[in-house]
Structure 1
Amino acid sequence: MREFLLFGKGFTKVDQWQEGCWINVSDPNQDDFTYLEEMGVPESFISDIRDPNERPRVEKDDDWMLTIMRIPRETGDVDIPFSTVPLGVITNGDLVIVLCYFKNIVIHDFIQYNTAKGNAINNKFALILRLIMSSAVWFLKFLKQINISINNTEDGLERRLRNDDLLKLRNLQKSLVYFNTGIRGNEALISRLRTIYMNSEMFDMEMVEDVHIEMQQALNMVSIYSNILTGSMEAFGSIISNNLNLIMKRMTSITIILQVPTLIASLYGMNVSLPIDDKAWAFVAILLLSIALSCAAFFVFKKIKWF
């Protein structure tokens, strides 16, 4: 799907490309690829954006320039609930194309928000910076959702340790790793863009600083949540290990207690002459002795808190 939006206060949609507008191509189909080829977009740029693991960077090919950033995305996958995907901004003079292969809420929200607020975005540099800032805002929103999921899962684990909850925490930790990598890459991208556009009339230092602050906040939040989650995982791992030790102590205690009457029964089961084996009350005495020794062993283990 592609749409044409005019630069300026808010975004006004037009039917086709014209000077002073940019093209948004999201979740492209074959018709969109054909259109990009007709516009002369280098094939290498399109294939780079297609790669889900592509890192944030700036690349030039003659008059064409490709800027790739990472934006957050809710995957709907249980294994990795949140991840990041590449978004590319392809420019050549007045031609500006924003391309993303994956359905995501960032671009949709970016267009709606700036249209509703009437924010002035007049050039490609401002567009790139605003996109990075929008990605930072959505990083923060998704981080809040991750934090809520972590808290809910931890509450469930405090009541009962379950493997499913532990796996859920592990999957959330994976998402935080992806977020951390994506945010750090976008920060490096901002520095690169500052160098490229420093001497351009499009350069806006105040906007660059605002974007940098947003990215720093997102990076700080992901670091905090990662540390909290790591500490929680280690704590629950210690709890599981401690519970296992308690179970092993109890099983060992039960084994030793049962070994006492077993040993006595084994001794008096031998086919040799033994004390009191000719007495009528021998069986009762041996039984009572076994019970007494087992009870004594039980109280010993109880005292040392193995039960």
Structure 2
Amino acid sequence: MLEYYKTFENGTRKIDQPETGCWISAISPTQEEIEFLTNQIGVLPEFIKASLDEEESSHIDHDEDEGQTLVIVDYPSAEDDENMDENTLLYTTLPLGVVIMKGYIVTICLHENFNIEDMASGRIKGMHTDMKTRFLFLLLLRISQRFLMYLKQIDRVSSRTEMRLHQSMKNKELIQMLGLEKSLVYFSTSLKTDEVTLNKIMRGKQIKLYEDDQDILEDVMIEIHQAIEMCNIYSNILSGTMDAYASVISNNLNIVMKVLTVITIVMSIPNIIFSFYGMNVSGLPIPEWWFPTLVAVIACIIATIIFKRKDMFH
């Protein structure tokens, strides 16, 4: 899907055809749309291919001959898990390519996302499609803010899951905690690569920096650093929580096995006594049915009292 936006005096509006100074948004483009971007707009094919690769990591690339710069950043994404309850989300990161070229700025991504929607809806203050550097920095700022928002969501989901784990140890909650831990690993990796890309941008070698945009770039760096710190903190907390619950589950299993072993020992005492009186031999004391039964009962009571004093039933 290709859409075109341009900033006018009364705001940013969607236009029908690409014009100089407009923003071209390509979301999961078809082969025909890719050819249009390549042949008509002039975007380098390798830039489009890199932007549509889900495994592509954040980086910056510049082609001196064509005068084009590609900035790929990872943005966070959240999806509902159909296999679990409605409050469960799966978090991951996906690449978003921004091509800065003569006359246009082009964003290319595989899926619809809130960052592009926010830019297209005009909710971003100070956005101008003809100011390519500012557009890029505002988009990066929005992505960093989205990281922080999703990290707070992960913290809330983790707290709710931990409260449910206090009440009952179920596989569903443990699997959800593992999913959150995996999400934090994705976030941490993507944030670090985004930070490296931002540091390259700050050098000003591949993208021309303007004094008016320095504050926005500094805000992006602050947000990214904060997101990295939050990600590390939440990851450590979640990892410690998982280790603690693993120890609790192991301890509960040991307690159950201990109780079952004690019960087995107590129940085996009557079997031993009755085995003696069941043998075809003579000379056993008081060969009446009530005597071995009485001895077995007394022996079980004594064994139970001994195990109880040693706190073997807890």
User: TM-score surpassing 0.5?
Assistant: yes
C-alpha deviation, 1:246, in angstroms = 0.6
CA separation of 1:198 and 1:230: change in aligned 2, threshold 3 A: same
Preserved CA contact (<8 Å) 1:90 1:96? yes
C-alpha deviation, 1:7, in angstroms = 4.9
Report what 2:297 is aligned to: 291
Q: Deviation string for 1:32-89 (max 9, x for gaps)?
A: 2232122222222112112112110011233222110001111334587111100001
After TM superposition, the structure 1 = structure 2 runs for residues 146-225 of structure 1, keeping only pairs within 5 Å, are: 146-197=154-205, 200=208, 202=210, 204-225=213-234
Counterparts of 2:277 and 2:207, CA distance in 1: 100
Counterparts of 1:198 and 1:85, CA distance in 2: 23
Counterparts of 1:86 and 1:92, CA distance in 2: 19
Counterparts of 1:253 and 1:190, CA distance in 2: 63
Counterparts of 1:207 and 1:123, CA distance in 2: 13
Identity of matched residues, %:
34
Counterparts of 1:202 and 1:298, CA distance in 2: 83
Counterparts of 1:188 and 1:167, CA distance in 2: 32
Larger displacement relative to structure 2 (119-128 or 105-114): 119-128
Residue 235 in 1 paired to residue 236 in 2?
A: no
Counterparts of 1:78 and 1:239, CA distance in 2: 29
C-alpha deviation, 1:23, in angstroms = 1.1
Report what 2:51 is aligned to: 49
C-alpha deviation, 1:212, in angstroms = 0.4
CA separation of 1:258 and 1:199: change in aligned 2, threshold 3 A: closer
Report what 2:27 is aligned to: 26
C-alpha deviation, 1:114, in angstroms = 3.9
Unpaired stretches in structure 2, ≥5 consecutive residues: 84-88
CA separation of 1:232 and 1:242: change in aligned 2, threshold 3 A: same
C-alpha deviation, 1:118, in angstroms = 4.5
Report what 1:252 is aligned to: 261
Unpaired stretches in structure 1, ≥5 consecutive residues: none
Counterparts of 2:221 and 2:126, CA distance in 1: 22
C-alpha deviation, 1:240, in angstroms = 0.6
Preserved CA contact (<8 Å) 2:21 2:129? no
Residue 133 in 1 paired to residue 137 in 2?
A: no
SS at match of 1:17: coil
Preserved CA contact (<8 Å) 1:96 1:124? yes
Preserved CA contact (<8 Å) 2:69 2:207? no
Q: Deviation string for 1:180-203 (max 9, x for gaps)?
A: 111111111100111234893535
Larger displacement relative to structure 2 (119-128 or 149-158): 119-128
After TM superposition, the structure 1 = structure 2 runs for residues 78-93 of structure 1, keeping only pairs within 5 Å, are: 81-93=90-102
C-alpha deviation, 1:30, in angstroms = 3.6
Preserved CA contact (<8 Å) 2:184 2:235? yes
Report what 2:78 is aligned to: 74
SS at match of 2:80: coil
Counterparts of 1:77 and 1:185, CA distance in 2: 27
Q: Structure 2 counterpart of 1:105, which letter? A: F
Counterparts of 1:113 and 1:135, CA distance in 2: 16
Counterparts of 1:77 and 1:36, CA distance in 2: 35
Larger displacement relative to structure 2 (28-37 or 86-95): 28-37
Preserved CA contact (<8 Å) 1:57 1:67? yes
Counterparts of 1:189 and 1:296, CA distance in 2: 74
C-alpha deviation, 1:291, in angstroms = 0.8
CA separation of 1:166 and 1:199: change in aligned 2, threshold 3 A: closer
SS at match of 2:311: coil
C-alpha deviation, 1:14, in angstroms = 2.6
Preserved CA contact (<8 Å) 1:8 1:122? no
| Count of aligned pairs | 303
SS at match of 1:264: helix
Residue 15 in 1 paired to residue 16 in 2?
A: yes
Report what 2:306 is aligned to: 300
C-alpha deviation, 1:92, in angstroms = 2.2
Superposition RMSD in Å: 2.2
SS at match of 1:81: strand
Preserved CA contact (<8 Å) 2:105 2:129? no
C-alpha deviation, 1:28, in angstroms = 2.0
Counterparts of 1:66 and 1:267, CA distance in 2: 88
C-alpha deviation, 1:120, in angstroms = 5.3
Instruction: Tell me the TM-score normalised to structure 1 length.
Output: 0.91
C-alpha deviation, 1:241, in angstroms = 0.6
Larger displacement relative to structure 2 (220-229 or 132-141): 220-229
Q: Structure 2 counterpart of 1:202, which letter? A: Y
